[in-house]
């Protein structure tokens, strides 16, 4: 599902790690980062590669390759998801770990960045195979993860159940219960209220602030959303609650459009019942990728990487793009959008609500003291709005687009921590 190095090459662009390094180099240049700190931040702190022998249901063994990349611990323990996907590569995991460092710094939570992944196809594996693979993977990582070191979370292809197996395996290896080793756990194992909706909710907080900053209001503004999964569906529901007309929504199977606004509750029900937005009776079916170029106030890519490219950026008619997905806009496309005056809210700000509530979950797990959903949502709001103000102020002060401003803010925060701590020994 993900668009990674392979697709990036067909686009004629660099692979994700090269893209992340280029972003760092450009930011280093703008903020006058010291050469020593730049050199250090260009490399992860640690890369762990493990081979995961797994008993399959047919009695045979598969040996999967798993990665955990810890990019930075300058501002706190590492934090980042675990991805199960056939296209997982080391370069992709390195890039995603680096982006996690910047994301945690943008929202100013006390974490560094990490990411993990296993190259596998979870959709073709049974629950038993997934459990055995996850438990062996976790056992191989026992020495490098932990609540004070590195805290995994779900990402593409992983979910609450996978986190429950990871938490249990780590706890069994330690001999006592360690709920703070992962976030995105089920509520009954110490998960946080509000976690499953946090990314979509965070997107909405930021989108609302951007509209206000531009003298617009959500009431009657139009929105198109690519992707109707964990992030896209929550974003759509909350957008409609604050007055948006959500006029187009897509998923992997197709897209639907109603220029007067979709009935969001009915669409959610239709998608639950049929597995797709396609064929929703109160709308017109359109070509899946037309959602990206439809005329609207806010376009929310909430599916995959690399969907707004030099091939379609010119056709984008949205005034604002809120990147709920990680890396949906290629660098060439960003340049085209800048020239057209499209206001792009970058992923490391827009979708940081998930990381933020993961931080809240870790705090609750460590304290064994749990918050109400209202408390979670209101603290999330404060963090997201502060982050928006910090990035917006930097963008206005330095004449930068929001992506460059977010990067400069993040890299400066990490560099400041590194400068104060020094480079050991």
Q: Which residues make up the interface to ligand NAD (CB under 6 A)?
A: 1, 156, 199, 226-232, 250-252, 288, 302-304, 324-326, 351, 354
Minimum separation from the CB atom of position 63 to ligand NAD (A):
26
- Of 309 and 418, nearer to ligand NAD (C-beta) is 309
Helices and strands, number each (H, E), in the chain: 14, 12
Joined together, the tokens standing for residue 201 give 């909710």
- Of 101 and 250, nearer to ligand NAD (C-beta) is 250
The CA distances from residue 149 to 45, 144, 220, 246, in Å, are 12, 7, 46, 41
9 CB-side CA count, 13 A: 4
- Minimal CB distance to ligand NAD: which residue? 229
- Of 28 and 109, nearer to ligand NAD (C-beta) is 109
- Distance of alpha carbon 109 from alpha carbon 151, whole angstroms: 13
> Do 72 and 417 meet the contact criterion of CB atoms below 8 Å apart?
no
> Which strand (E) or helix (H) includes residue 65?
strand 61-70
Which SS3 state, helix, strand or coil, does residue 84 take? strand
* CA neighbor of 357 nearest in space, from 389, 382, 332: 382
Bridge partners of residue 79, in order along the sequence = 113, 151
- Distance of alpha carbon 284 from alpha carbon 297, whole angstroms: 20
- Of 7 and 245, nearer to ligand NAD (C-beta) is 7
Minimum separation from the CB atom of position 242 to ligand NAD (A):
20
Minimum separation from the CB atom of position 383 to ligand NAD (A):
14
Give CA angle at 270 (242, 284), nearest 5°. 80
Minimum separation from the CB atom of position 181 to ligand NAD (A):
18
Minimum separation from the CB atom of position 357 to ligand NAD (A):
9
> Edge-to-edge strands of the sheet including 46-55?
46-55, 61-70, 112-119, 78-85, 150-154
> Edge-to-edge strands of the sheet including 343-345?
284-286, 254-257, 245-251, 222-226, 298-301, 320-322, 343-345
Sequence-ordered strand ranges (E) for 183-316? 222-226, 245-251, 254-257, 284-286, 298-301
- Of 265 and 289, nearer to ligand NAD (C-beta) is 289
Catalytic residue among 45, 79, 103, 115: 115
- Of 197 and 390, nearer to ligand NAD (C-beta) is 197
Minimum separation from the CB atom of position 331 to ligand NAD (A):
17
Active site residue 39: no
Strands 245-251 and 254-257: what pairing? antiparallel
Residues with catalytic function = 115
């Amino acid at each position: 599902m993900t668009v990674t190095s392979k697709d990036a090459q067909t686009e004629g662009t660099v692979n994700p790690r090269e893209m992340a390094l280029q972003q760092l180099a450009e930011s280093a240049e703008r903020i006058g980062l010291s050469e020593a700190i730049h050199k250090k931040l260009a490399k992860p702190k640690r890369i762990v590669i493990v081979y995961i022998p797994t008993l399959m249901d047919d009695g045979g063994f598969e040996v999967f390759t798993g990665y955990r990349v810890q990019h930075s611990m300058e501002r706190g323990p590492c934090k980042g998801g675990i991805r199960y996907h056939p296209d997982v590569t080391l370069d992709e995991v390195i890039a995603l770990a680096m982006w996690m460092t910047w994301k945690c710094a943008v929202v100013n939570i006390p974490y560094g960045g990490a990411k993990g992944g296993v190259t596998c196809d979870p959709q073709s594996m049974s629950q038993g195979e997934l459990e055995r693979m996850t438990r062996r993977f976790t056992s191989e990582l026992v020495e490098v993860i932990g609540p004070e070191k590195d805290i995994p979370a779900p990402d593409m292809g992983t979910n609450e159940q996978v986190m429950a197996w990871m938490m249990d395996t780590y706890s069994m290896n330690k001999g006592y219960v360690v709920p703070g080793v992962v976030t995105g756990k089920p509520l009954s194992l110490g998960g946080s209220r509000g976690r499953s909706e946090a990314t979509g909710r965070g997107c909405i907080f930021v989108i609302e602030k951007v509209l206000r900053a531009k003298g617009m209001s959500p009431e009657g503004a139009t929105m198109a959303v690519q992707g109707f999964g964990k992030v896209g569906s929550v974003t759509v529901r909350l957008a409609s609650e604050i007055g948006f007309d959500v006029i187009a929504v897509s998923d992997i199977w197709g897209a639907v459009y109603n220029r007067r606004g979709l009935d969001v509750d009915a669409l959610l029900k239709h998608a639950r019942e049929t597995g797709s937005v396609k064929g929703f009776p109160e709308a017109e079916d359109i070509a899946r990728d037309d959602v990206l170029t439809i005329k609207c106030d806010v376009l929310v890519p909430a599916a995959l990487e690399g969907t707004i490219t030099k091939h379609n950026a010119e056709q984008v008619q949205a005034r604002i793009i809120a990147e709920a997905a990680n890396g949906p806009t290629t660098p060439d496309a960003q340049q085209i959008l800048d020239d057209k005056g499209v206001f792009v809210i970058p992923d490391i700000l827009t979708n940081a609500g998930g990381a933020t509530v993961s931080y809240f979950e870790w705090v609750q797990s460590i304290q064994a003291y749990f918050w109400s959903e209202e408390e979670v949502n209101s603290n999330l709001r404060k963090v997201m709005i502060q982050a928006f103000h910090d990035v917006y102020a930097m963008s206005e002060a330095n004449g930068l687009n929001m992506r460059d401003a977010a990067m400069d803010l993040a890299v400066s925060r990490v560099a400041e921590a590194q400068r104060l701590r020094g480079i050991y020994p």
